[in-house]
């Protein structure tokens, strides 16, 4: 992945000095040099590449030293004023934070005044609590972590009225001065009334209210009191059994599915798609007639099956499973949610590859209408669909 425009390409040019950063060409390298210069020196000095959070913390500290900590006109508050929740960390996470502080001190470029351990821990805590996952231009693969102070001011709701999307802009111009700036966008998912608070979801809605609250408490240190959580809305659908299913059998197949999903995740990590498909097929067979089409275990197995079938070029089967997945998502996700658009796009591409152009066209049009709202007309994914 190019470290400037985040494009995935087979042939990338590697930084000749640190041999870590990769770029499409000289244009991307020039555009990224101001950010990479200090990092390049630190990597060469350390002899290895630290974790993304360490590199991001270093970039934040370098920028604070360069700009003397003054926020730009477009920045509503300085980075250092964000909450770090270091005092709330359990002992195990606190030990990991201290280890990261030591790694940071080793990574910090020589020739500069060294920040205190407290300042380093503060920035690392801010990143842990407020970091935003960066994806490639297709929005399918996580490639790093970023920090956007203005975005950190937006509160959480499990059924939000806004979405957050990383827009990579236009990186195709030969002259880097003509590149449109890569930016994170806060986009309304529908009409927002005057005085209504803007909200985003910090976690995926596709979890029961208890599981979402657990994640929010562990990751962001607050208890969610939104309507979806307080009234446990959609929980019944996410754990629903098929009509007439025996309760004991449903409990048994749910436990089996959860064990199977752990194996599937390991196989996906190892890119063993044949084994993923075998596990998914066995699991879906056991779920038949017992779990509803909105049950979380069923949807997660379907998602893994679509990925495996697409990789193995079994397109008719991938198309059928992708359509079932989309139908389940529609019963759970809010309107115009980005996951609905991505799922419709995935189903449309699978139908196109399976030789079903009419069905593919309908699904891709559905995806376009959703992504036009969640991602915007200028996002690369939306433009590709257009």
Nearest C-alpha neighbor of 306 from the set 298, 314, 294:
314
Tens digit of each residue's pLDDT (9 = 90 or more) over 18-71: 999 999 888 888 888 888 888 998 899 888 999 999 999 998 988 887 765 555
Assigned architecture for domain 234-312: Alpha Horseshoe (1.25)
Q: How many CA atoms lie within 13 A of 84 on its CB side?
A: 18
Using the predicted structure, report yes or no on whether residue 72 has a pLDDT greater than 70. Answer: no
Q: Report the pLDDT value the prediction gives residue 138, as an integer from 0 to 100.
A: 61
CA dist., res. 325 & res. 308, Å (int)? 14
Give me the mean pLDDT over the 314-340 stretch.
96
**Rounded to two decimals, what is the model's pTM?**
0.84
Identify which of 354, 355, 362, 290 has the alpha carbon closest to the alpha carbon of residue 326.
Answer: 362
**Per-residue pLDDT tens for 200-233?**
999 999 999 999 999 999 999 999 999 999 999 9
pLDDT of amino acid 175: 47
**Tokens at residue 372, please?**
């036009």
Where do the structural domains in the chain lie, given as residue ranges?
Answer: 1-49, 234-312
How far apart are alpha carbons 298 and 290 in whole angstroms? 10
* pLDDT tens-place string over residues 123-160: 999 999 998 887 766 666 677 788 888 889 999 999 99
In this predicted model, which residue has the larger pLDDT, 8 or 235?
Answer: 235
Instruction: Express each pLDDT in 229-249 by its tens digit.
Output: 999 999 999 999 999 999 999
Say which residue the tokens 């959609």 belong to: 234
- Mean pLDDT along residues 300-314: 97
Residue 180 has pLDDT above 60, yes or no: no
Please determine, for residue 173, whether its predicted confidence score (pLDDT) is greater than 50: no
pLDDT attached to residue 68: 56
pLDDT value of position 177: 46
As a whole number, the mean pLDDT across the chain is: 89
Q: Which two tokens stand for residue 170?
A: 């236009």
């Amino acid at each position: 992945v190019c470290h400037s425009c985040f494009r995935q390409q087979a042939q990338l040019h590697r930084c000749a000095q640190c041999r870590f950063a990769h770029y499409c060409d000289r244009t991307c390298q020039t555009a990224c040099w101001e950010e990479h210069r200090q990092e390049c020196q630190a990597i060469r000095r350390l002899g290895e590449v630290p974790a993304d959070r360490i590199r991001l913390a270093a970039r934040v500290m370098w920028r604070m030293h360069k700009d003397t900590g003054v926020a730009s006109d477009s920045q509503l508050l300085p980075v250092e004023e964000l909450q770090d929740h270091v005092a709330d960390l359990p002992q195990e996470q606190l030990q990991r934070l201290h280890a990261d502080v030591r790694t940071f001190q080793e990574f910090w470029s020589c020739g500069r005044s060294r920040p205190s351990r407290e300042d380093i821990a503060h920035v690392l805590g801010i990143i842990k609590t407020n970091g935003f996952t960066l994806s490639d231009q297709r929005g399918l693969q996580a490639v790093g972590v970023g920090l956007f102070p203005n975005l950190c001011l937006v509160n959480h709701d499990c059924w939000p009225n806004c979405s957050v999307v990383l827009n990579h802009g236009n990186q195709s111009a030969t002259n880097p001065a003509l590149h449109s700036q890569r930016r994170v966008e806060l986009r309304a998912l529908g009409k927002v009334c005057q005085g209504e608070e803007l909200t985003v979801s910090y976690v995926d809605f596709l979890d029961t209210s208890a599981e979402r609250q657990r994640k929010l408490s562990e990751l962001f240190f607050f208890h969610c009191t939104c309507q979806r959580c307080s009234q446990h809305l959609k929980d019944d659908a996410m754990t629903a059994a098929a009509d007439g299913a025996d309760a004991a059998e449903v409990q048994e197949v749910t436990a089996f599915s959860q064990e199977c999903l752990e194996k599937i995740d390991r196989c996906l990590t190892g890119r063993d798609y044949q084994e993923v498909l075998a596990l998914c097929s066995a699991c879906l067979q056991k779920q038949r007639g017992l779990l509803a089409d909105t049950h979380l275990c069923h949807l997660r197995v379907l998602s893994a099956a679509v990925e495996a079938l697409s990789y193995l070029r079994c397109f008719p089967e991938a198309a059928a499973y992708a359509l079932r997945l989309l139908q389940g998502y529609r019963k759970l996700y809010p309107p115009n949610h980005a996951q609905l658009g991505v799922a419709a796009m995935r189903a449309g591409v699978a139908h196109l590859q399976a030789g079903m152009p009419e069905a593919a066209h309908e699904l891709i049009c559905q995806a376009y209408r959703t992504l036009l709202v969640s991602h915007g007309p200028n996002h690369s994914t939306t433009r590709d669909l257009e």
